Chain A
Amino acid sequence: MANLAWLKPARNKRGATTLIAAALAAPLALAAADARAQQPPIKIGVIVPTSGTFTANGEDALAGMRMYFDEIGNEIAGRKIQLIVEDDQGKPDVGLTKARKLVESDKVQMLAGFVSSAVTLAVSEYARDKKIPMIINADGGANELTIPGPLFNPTLVRFSQNGRTPSAAAAAFIYKQGWRKVATITSDFAGGFDTIGGFAQAFCKLGGTITQEQYPPLTTNDYGPYITNLDRSAEAVVTFLPGAGGLRFVKQFVELGLKDKYPMMDIFGQAVYEPNLPQLGDAALGIYSTLHYTPMIKTPENERFVKAYVERNKRLPSDNGPDGWAGAKGIAEAAKAVGGKVEDTEKFIAAMKGVKFASAKGDLSVDKYGQVIQAMYVRRTEKAGNDYVNVPIASYENVDQFWPFSLEEFESYKYRYAELKGSTTNCAKVLEKK
């Protein structure tokens, strides 16, 4: 895309619109009894899908954000908090248009939300050019945004997971179980290669082997051929099948009689995603999955969060709920640290990279590249009363984005994850150095 930055209006014009905006905001501020509230509000533009396939993910993140801001009375350092929510419909072009609208006509001071990786990548480029703080506190997991490189965005902080850490946790758990040979089944798309590449790298490093890799297209209706074709010498099956695929796969895995014979690790918990569990029923029992959250975590923070969340939204939170909450708290803590002056982007972002707090997900801190450091949970689907739930059975604490590697080691490998498709059975290539 051509860079049209030189076309933007002259500085004085922008100053004039700010004045008008302030004038328009003034009557609102007067209504507040607190004299300090006369300061202009902190405007947060929230970009999430509120229509289309990923509606629930977007609504969960938004609900988590609203919960936190309500807890603190929707005010930070004497400034009211105003959320302006826009629907990206899960489409990058729509997301980018909405980001422009939020920044250029609503004059928001920061952008938050982001479920789709494609939307996240599109908006990040824009936000980086405009030096608008960007807070990812929903699914948007593109690894590259917080890793030094061409897509790195210094004004971005992510309070949710990146793409590779649930894979690395899955590799660590499988190895610890004593399973050394696994077969993988991954949806054939960019996110799938990132996920399984991350798994292969971590698993090879530990000394395990992938004996077979299969890539059914995202639109696969019938997983019969893939399941029948499964390498019978494998000790476990590792899957990453988002959307309806995970659901179809598990059902057919059971029917073809293989689920009892092979432990299944569902990276990111796509098949055993909570809304799927009632439909899967007993078919889901015993499936392992990795993620940075499950509503079943037994800590006071999480129990309080889940209770409040269920009261408010009448359903259990997915990982997006606490992600949304954590992002909101990150914004508030950083804004407090800079005395409410969020317009000073550099100081505000620096303050956000220094936050540390407890959350429903566990203890959180942020690394210098803007990715949250948090726990990763291994869950197993079990039956509790009449409900099916993902119970945490193991956890890895303080998982940073390069875990279990250092940045130096991570960068020393020759191949990017997407380039490993078709070669993950060859550990020598997976671990080849530059």
Chain B
Amino acid sequence: MIWVIHTLNGVSFGMLLFLLAAGLSLIYGLMKILNLTHGSYYLIGAYAGSTIVAKTGSFALAAVAAPLLVAGLGAIMERFFLRRFHLDELPQTLLTFGFLFIFADLCLWIWGGDPVLLPKPVPLASSISIGGSSYPLYRLFLIAIGLVIAAALWGLQEHTRIGAMLRAGVDDAEIARAMGIDVSLLFTLVFSLGAFLAALGGVLGGPIIGASPGADFEVMLLAFVVVIVGGLGSLRGALVGGLLIGLLDNFGKVFFPEFALFTIFVPMAIILSFRPTGLFGRA
């Protein structure tokens, strides 16, 4: 029975990783920007979410409002800063690196250095019994919501006009522009969507990982590992990569506790040595 618990631990953490990695992957797929600010979106989402929960008591409101706020932040970053360096990877990456520090200091200034854990929404705060061991309902909820968001993103990409424009933009931005697609608007939209997803991960992951100085770096690193394993730019890759890393991390820590620091990186190195573009990446 304990293996069921371990598996659920791994899958729920993997779903959280998917949420964190999906936005990063989307942004890279379309715009080729390695967004180092991604962890900051998570952090701001979690902090803002905690403030909203503290003020209104509503977790649902926090899960909508905090990501929207961060999406706006993402839109501003894309419109007024990153746009100036279109397809110029080094300045773009350095710019997002600079924003990472600015956001980290801003968070420290606004929310202080004490770690914050979001309270869980009340209906999900209890535990249920699985084969004699209790298991938190919230983690099961994470698995469910992860699947819902994966389905929604897949539907958006495959069955909507925006999704078609997005796929066209990923394949060849120049031709898409020539066909009359407003690529510049698309860029802003996708960048905000990526920020939105990271901040949503911040609110939903808030009761487990929480927000603290340095969490932005930790989350960014996790998201990068997932995206690299799954393949840059692939949503399916983010989902499979997230689940794979979540499970490997969990069982790695159980079977090889002395390598706890590497349970994520060793699989990454092995996968990369066989598939340099990741599981679903395109060369």
Interface residues of A (CB under 8 A from B): 51-56, 188, 214-217, 219-222, 224-226, 228-229, 243-244, 247-248, 251-252, 255-257, 275-276, 279-281, 422
Contact = CB atoms under 8 A, between A and B. Distances in A.
A53 B5 contact: no
Nearest to B261: A217
Contact of A224 (B9, B108, B119, B258): B9
B20 to A, nearest CB: 10
Contacts of B219: 221
Contact of B116 (A56, A222, A279, A422): A279
B260 interface: yes
A53 B113 contact: yes
A188 B136 contact: no
Interface range for B: 35 or more
Nearest to A245: B115
Contact of B138 (A228, A229, A255, A275): A255
A52 B212 CA distance: 11
B186 interface: no
Nearest to B118: A279
Given A54-B113, A279-B116, A244 B210 contact: yes
Contacts of B254: 225, 228-229
A275 B218 CA distance: 23
Contacts of B108: 51-52
A222 B209 contact: yes
A184 to B, nearest CB: 12
B207 interface: yes
B9 A225 contact: yes
Contact of B135 (A248, A256, A275): A256
A430 to B, nearest CB: 18
Of A188, A215, A248, A276, which is in contact with the most chain B CB atoms at under 10 Å from its CB? A248
Given A224-B250, A228-B9, A247 B117 contact: yes
B222 interface: yes
A53 B260 contact: no
Contacts of A56: 112-114
Given A228-B254, A275-B114, 20 more contacts: A56-B112, A215-B258, A216-B253, A221-B208, A222-B249, A224-B9, A224-B13, A225-B6, A225-B253, A243-B115, A247-B115, A248-B208, A255-B136, A255-B138, A256-B133, A257-B135, A276-B115, A279-B119, A280-B117, A422-B258
Interface string B206-249: 01111011110011001000000000000000000000000001
14 contacts: A53-B113, A216-B253, A217-B260, A219-B214, A221-B209, A221-B222, A224-B9, A225-B6, A225-B251, A228-B9, A229-B254, A248-B115, A255-B139, A276-B115
B258 A256 contact: no
Given A228-B5, A255-B138, A257-B127, A244 B215 contact: yes
B2 interface: yes
B257 interface: yes
A252 B5 CA distance: 13
A106 B260 CA distance: 47
A217 B260 CA distance: 7
A230 to B, nearest CB: 10
B19 to A, nearest CB: 13
B250 to A, nearest CB: 5
Interface of B: 2, 5-6, 9-10, 13, 108, 112-117, 119, 127, 133-136, 138-139, 207-210, 212-215, 218-219, 222, 249-251, 253-254, 257-258, 260-261
B214 A221 contact: no
B224 to A, nearest CB: 14
Contacts of A252: 136, 208
Contacts of A221: 13, 208-209, 218-219, 222
A419 B117 CA distance: 34
Contacts of A217: 260-261
B113 A52 contact: yes
Contacts of B13: 221-222, 224
A256 B136 contact: yes
A248 B117 contact: yes
Of B114, B136, B208, B250, which is in contact with the most chain A CB atoms at under 10 Å from its CB? B114
B114 A188 contact: no
A222 B213 contact: no
B215 A256 contact: no
Contacts of A255: 127, 134, 136, 138-139
A229 B252 CA distance: 12
Nearest to A252: B208
A171 to B, nearest CB: 23
Nearest to A219: B218
A258 to B, nearest CB: 8
Nearest to B252: A225
Of B6, B13, B136, B215, which is in contact with the most chain A CB atoms at under 10 Å from its CB? B136
A347 to B, nearest CB: 40
Of B113, B136, B214, which is in contact with the most chain A CB atoms at under 10 Å from its CB? B113
A215 B261 CA distance: 10
A276 B114 contact: yes
Contacts of B207: 251
A229 B113 CA distance: 31
A246 B35 CA distance: 30
B175 to A, nearest CB: 41
A77 B117 CA distance: 50
B127 to A, nearest CB: 6
A275 B113 CA distance: 10
A226 B127 CA distance: 18
Given A221-B222, A251-B207, A53 B117 contact: no
A395 B115 CA distance: 29
Contacts of B2: 228
A216 B13 CA distance: 16
Contacts of B136: 252, 255-256
